């Protein structure tokens, strides 16, 4: 019998889902780029409403992990710190399991995340992220604006910084 995949469901992640987040992170990023279990757990504890999972048939197949920061650019400090009232939301992980890629799920996940930030996060002026060159078209389709080459030194690839300027909600 052929099983038809459900539409993706997006929801905030729970603390008990950090092990699955770590598995997805480890399987989909090189070891010199993947966040540690402890870093993912820290972000989930400190910024739970900025950890959005994507589920198909009840199984997490992707997630976005982010924190808030007070800075104009995405930098090393933003990668390891959460400032609860920071004006920027910094996306650290955008992960979709390999067998679910190239189906529009990453774009839908990004759109759901941006919508959630706009609706739920107060006093945010922008969403920031860094990307490898091969993912630039995805982020542009999701509404992010390429700011240029990032100063981040992570792994062996060149990274590019993106942002979505937002009207802050007071």
Cβ-in-10-Å burial (0-12, 13-18, 19+) of 153 comes to exposed
d(CA 114, CA 116): 5
> What's the confidence (pLDDT) of residue 65?
95
Query: What H or E segment, with its residue span, contains residue 52?
Result: strand 51-56
pLDDT of residue 77: 83
Residues facing residue 89 across a β-bridge = 68, 127
Q: Is residue 98 within 8 Å of residue 63, measured between CB atoms?
A: no
- Exposure string over 25-62, b if 16+ CB within 10 A, otherwise e: bbebeeeeebbeeebbbbbbeebeebbbbbebeeebbb
pTM of the entire predicted model: 0.90
- By the 8 A CB rule, do 89 and 117 touch? yes
Higher-confidence residue of 24 and 34: namely 24
Q: Cα 55 to the chain's mean position, in Å?
A: 15
Does residue 23 surpass a pLDDT of 90?
yes
pLDDT of 1: 46
Alpha-carbon distances, residue 12 vs 23, 79, 160 (angstroms):
17, 20, 27
Residue linked to tokens 């402890």: 38
* Share of residues in the chain with pLDDT > 70 (%): 95
In this predicted structure, the answer to whether residue 170 has a pLDDT above a threshold of 70 is no
Band (pLDDT 50/70/90 cuts) for residue 20 is very high
Contact between 74 and 29 under an 8 Å Cβ cutoff? The reply is no
The average pLDDT across 32-55 equals: 93
Q: Are 53 and 109 in contact (CB under 8 A)?
A: no
The predicted pLDDT at position 152 comes to 79
pLDDT value, residue 74: 85
| Greater model confidence, 1 or 141 | 141
Question: Averaged over 23-37, what is the pLDDT?
Answer: 88
pLDDT band for position 3 (cuts 50, 70, 90): low
Specify the range with the lowest mean pLDDT, choosing from 55-59, 92-96, 147-151.
147-151
DSSP 8-state assignment for residue 62: E
Question: What are the structural domains, with CATH classification, of the chain?
Answer: 9-165 (3.40.630.30)
């Amino acid at each position: 019998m052929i099983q038809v995949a459900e539409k993706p469901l997006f929801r905030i992640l729970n603390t008990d889902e950090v092990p699955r987040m770590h598995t997805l992170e480890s399987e989909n990023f090189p070891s010199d780029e993947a966040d540690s279990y402890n870093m993912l757990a820290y972000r989930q504890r400190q910024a739970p409403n900025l950890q959005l999972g994507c589920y198909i048939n009840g199984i997490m197949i992707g997630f976005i992990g982010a924190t808030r920061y007070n800075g104009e650019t995405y930098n090393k400090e933003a990668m390891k710190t959460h400032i609860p009232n920071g004006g920027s939301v910094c996306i650290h992980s955008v992960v979709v399991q390999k067998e679910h890629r190239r189906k529009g799920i990453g774009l839908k996940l990004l759109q759901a995340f941006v919508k959630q930030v706009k609706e739920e996060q107060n006093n945010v002026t922008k969403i920031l992220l860094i990307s490898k060159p091969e993912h630039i078209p995805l982020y542009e389709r999701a509404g992010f604006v390429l700011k240029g080459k990032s100063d981040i030194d992570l792994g062996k690839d060149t990274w590019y910084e993106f942002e979505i300027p937002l009207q802050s909600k007071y």
